[in-house]
Structure 1
Amino acid sequence: MAIKAVFFDIDGTLLNDRKNVSHSTQKAINALKKQGILVGVATGRGPAFVSPFMENLGLDFAVTYNGQYIFTRDRVIYQNQLPKSTVYRLIKYASDRRREVSLGTSVGLLGSNIINMGTSRFGQTISRIVPKKLTRMVERSFKNIIRRIKPQNFETLTTIMREPVYQVVMVATEGETGKIQEKFPHIKITRSSPYSADLISQGQSKIKGIERLGNQLGFDLSEVMTFGDSENDIEMMVGSGIGVAMGNATEVVKQSASYITDSNNQDGIAKALSHYGLIHLDSENDFLSSDENFNKVRDFHRLMDEETNNTPRVYGLEEAGHRADFKLEEIVEFIYAGSQNDQEFEEAVQKLHQAIDKAAAKVQSKEHPESPLIGQVDALVDLLYLTYGSFVLMGVDPGSIFNIVHSANMGKIFPDGKAHFDPVTHKILKPDDWEERFAPEPAIKREVDRQLQKALSRSTQSDKSEIR
Structure 2
Amino acid sequence: MNIKAVFFDLDGTLFTSSRNVAATTRRAIVELHKNKILVGVATGRGPAFVLPLMETLGLDFAVTYNGQYIFTPDEVLSTTAIDKKTLRHIIDFSKKHGRDISLGMADGVHGSGLLKFGETRTAQVIANILPKHVSSLTKNSFKNIVRKIKPQSHHLTSHIRQPIYQVIMIATSSETDEIMARFPDLQATRSNPYSADLITKGNSKLKGIEKVGQQFGFDLAQVMAFGDSDNDFDMLSGVGLGVAMGNATTGIQHIADYITDNNNSDGIAKALAHFGLINFKHADSFISKDQQFNQVKEFHRVMDGQTQELPRVYLPEEAGYRASFKVEEIVEFLFAASNRDLSVFDDLTAQLHTAIDTASRKVKAKPSANQADTLVDEADALLDLLYFTYGSLVLMGVDPYDLFNTVHKANMGKIFPDGKAHFDPVTHKILKPDNWETDFAPEGKMKQELDRQIRVAMSKLSKTKDTDEDV
CA distance in 2, matches of 1:231, 1:129: 24
CA distance in 2, matches of 1:205, 1:268: 24
| Preserved contact between residue 7 and residue 225 of structure 2 (Cα < 8 Å) | yes
Secondary structure in structure 2 of the residue aligned to 1:183:
coil
| Preserved contact between residue 187 and residue 199 of structure 1 (Cα < 8 Å) | yes
Which position in structure 2 is the counterpart of 1:114?
A: 114
* Residues 321-369 of structure 1, C-alpha deviations (whole Å, 9 max, x = no match): xxxxxxxxxxxxxxxxxxxxxxxxxxxxxxxxxxxxxxxxxxxxxxxxx
Which position in structure 1 is the counterpart of 2:59?
A: 59
How many angstroms does 1:161 deviate by? 1.6
The verdict on how the C-alpha distance between 1:138 and 1:113 changes in structure 2, with shifts beyond 3 A counting, is farther
- Name the TM-score, length of structure 2 as normaliser: 0.58
* Residues 106-153 of structure 1, C-alpha deviations (whole Å, 9 max, x = no match): 010111110001122233455677677659567524421122224324
Which position in structure 1 is the counterpart of 2:101?
A: 101
2:44 is the counterpart of 1:44: yes
| Preserved contact between residue 113 and residue 153 of structure 2 (Cα < 8 Å) | no
Q: How does 1:293-308 map to 2 (within 5 A)?
A: none
How many angstroms does 1:182 deviate by? 1.1
- Given residue 76 of structure 2, which amino acid in structure 1 is its aligned partner? V
Q: How does 1:164-203 map to 2 (within 5 A)?
A: 164-203=163-202
Which position in structure 2 is the counterpart of 1:157?
A: 156
Which position in structure 2 is the counterpart of 1:3?
A: 3
Which position in structure 2 is the counterpart of 1:387?
A: none
Which position in structure 1 is the counterpart of 2:423?
A: none
CA distance in 2, matches of 1:132, 1:208: 36
Which position in structure 2 is the counterpart of 1:233?
A: 232
| Preserved contact between residue 105 and residue 167 of structure 1 (Cα < 8 Å) | yes
CA distance in 2, matches of 1:284, 1:56: 20
| Preserved contact between residue 24 and residue 283 of structure 2 (Cα < 8 Å) | no
RMSD over aligned Cα, in angstroms?
A: 2.3
* Residues 408-434 of structure 1, C-alpha deviations (whole Å, 9 max, x = no match): xxxxxxxxxxxxxxxxxxxxxxxxxxx
CA distance in 1, matches of 2:58, 2:21: 13
Runs (5+) with no aligned partner, structure 2: 285-301, 303-417, 419-471
Which position in structure 1 is the counterpart of 2:355?
A: none
CA distance in 2, matches of 1:24, 1:78: 31
CA distance in 2, matches of 1:127, 1:3: 38
2:80 is the counterpart of 1:84: no
The verdict on how the C-alpha distance between 1:284 and 1:182 changes in structure 2, with shifts beyond 3 A counting, is closer
* Residues 243-285 of structure 1, C-alpha deviations (whole Å, 9 max, x = no match): 1111111111111111111111000000000111101112699
| Preserved contact between residue 127 and residue 193 of structure 1 (Cα < 8 Å) | no
CA distance in 2, matches of 1:226, 1:246: 11
Q: How does 1:411-430 map to 2 (within 5 A)?
A: none
Q: How does 1:255-294 map to 2 (within 5 A)?
A: 255-282=254-281
CA distance in 2, matches of 1:284, 1:171: 40
| Preserved contact between residue 25 and residue 269 of structure 2 (Cα < 8 Å) | yes
Q: How does 1:311-326 map to 2 (within 5 A)?
A: none
CA distance in 2, matches of 1:95, 1:31: 49
Which position in structure 2 is the counterpart of 1:248?
A: 247
Which position in structure 1 is the counterpart of 2:293?
A: none
Secondary structure in structure 2 of the residue aligned to 1:282:
helix
The verdict on how the C-alpha distance between 1:275 and 1:138 changes in structure 2, with shifts beyond 3 A counting, is farther
- Given residue 105 of structure 2, which amino acid in structure 1 is its aligned partner? T
Secondary structure in structure 1 of the residue aligned to 2:191:
strand
The verdict on how the C-alpha distance between 1:76 and 1:128 changes in structure 2, with shifts beyond 3 A counting, is farther
Which position in structure 1 is the counterpart of 2:295?
A: none
- Given residue 6 of structure 1, which amino acid in structure 2 is its aligned partner? V
The verdict on how the C-alpha distance between 1:160 and 1:2 changes in structure 2, with shifts beyond 3 A counting, is same
Secondary structure in structure 2 of the residue aligned to 1:24:
helix
The verdict on how the C-alpha distance between 1:64 and 1:139 changes in structure 2, with shifts beyond 3 A counting, is farther
Which position in structure 1 is the counterpart of 2:299?
A: none
Which position in structure 1 is the counterpart of 2:291?
A: none
The verdict on how the C-alpha distance between 1:56 and 1:284 changes in structure 2, with shifts beyond 3 A counting, is closer
The verdict on how the C-alpha distance between 1:238 and 1:284 changes in structure 2, with shifts beyond 3 A counting, is closer
| Preserved contact between residue 17 and residue 125 of structure 1 (Cα < 8 Å) | no
| Preserved contact between residue 114 and residue 142 of structure 1 (Cα < 8 Å) | no
CA distance in 1, matches of 2:136, 2:14: 28
The verdict on how the C-alpha distance between 1:205 and 1:133 changes in structure 2, with shifts beyond 3 A counting, is farther
CA distance in 1, matches of 2:206, 2:170: 24
CA distance in 2, matches of 1:135, 1:30: 47
CA distance in 1, matches of 2:224, 2:114: 34
| Preserved contact between residue 139 and residue 195 of structure 1 (Cα < 8 Å) | no
The verdict on how the C-alpha distance between 1:142 and 1:48 changes in structure 2, with shifts beyond 3 A counting, is farther
| Preserved contact between residue 189 and residue 197 of structure 1 (Cα < 8 Å) | yes
Query: In the comparison of the two structures, how many residue pairs are matched?
Result: 287
CA distance in 2, matches of 1:249, 1:266: 13
After the TM superposition, list the runs of 4 or more consecutive aligned residues in structure 1 that deviate by more than 4 angstroms: 124-139
Identical-pair percentage: 55
The verdict on how the C-alpha distance between 1:284 and 1:5 changes in structure 2, with shifts beyond 3 A counting, is closer
The verdict on how the C-alpha distance between 1:284 and 1:80 changes in structure 2, with shifts beyond 3 A counting, is closer
2:213 is the counterpart of 1:214: yes
